A and B are shown apart, each in its own frame.
Chain A
Amino acid sequence: DAKTTQPNSMESNEEEPVHLPCNHSTISGTDYIHWYRQLPSQGPEYVIHGLTSNVNNRMASLAIAEDRKSSTLILHRATLRDAAVYYCILRVLNNDMRFGAGTRLTVKP
């Protein structure tokens, strides 16, 4: 399986944008880039996914590099409720979901 590399932790101030990076230099052409987050004492929840083009939804934006070897999850205005572990996952369609270590995001008031 292609692997992802994320910083162990990041900090942000409340109401400021947050850019969470993910490197996936061994990504293959059929790998989708998924982002999940895990709030304290909860199961992971879906955030966003993409293949080649940048994606936006109500939770976040996903910026994918042109060579697809890296991506960035963008939270436009961090809130205290966004404090979580964020996982960047590569997944081939119809295959299972495998998690890396993730990035622990701390949001300061």
Chain B
Amino acid sequence: SAVISQKPSRDICQRGTSLTIQCQVDSQVTMMFWYRQQPGQSLTLIATANQGSEATYESGFVIDKFPISRPNLTFSTLTVSNMSPEDSSIYLCSVEGDRGPYGYTFGSGTRLTVV
């Protein structure tokens, strides 16, 4: 299955600043997905990123707060902008694995703490 490298693995940031999270995949994939996992909670889909088009955001998530780039078929970034303590979460990227549409592969996540 696809191997995902996600950076940074963790960070502690000051409120009001921004953090860009990188997701690198070892194979070309059409769709990449970004999730948020708040402390003790399940995963919530933030947006879907297709190469060459604007990301599609889920209800409750906006581009100004979570801008996403998808410059090629192996790479994507998610920026968490103007951070507040409520943004403290684990952020994960995901792609469809080599099981095609039947299986997703997830990165190990970025643990973000906003102080």
Contact = CB atoms under 8 A, between A and B. Distances in A.
Q: Do A and B bind each other?
A: yes
B42 A43 contact: no
**Which among B92, B94, B103 has the greatest number of chain A C-beta atoms within 10 A?**
B103
Nearest to B102: A49
**Which among A43, A94, A100 has the greatest number of chain B C-beta atoms within 10 A?**
A43
A109 B109 CA distance: 29
B97 interface: yes
A26 B90 CA distance: 30
Given A42-B108, A43-B94, A43-B109, A100 B102 contact: no
B42 A87 contact: yes
Contacts of A44: 43, 92, 104, 106
B105 to A, nearest CB: 7
Interface of A: 32, 34, 36, 41-46, 49, 85, 87, 93-94, 96-102
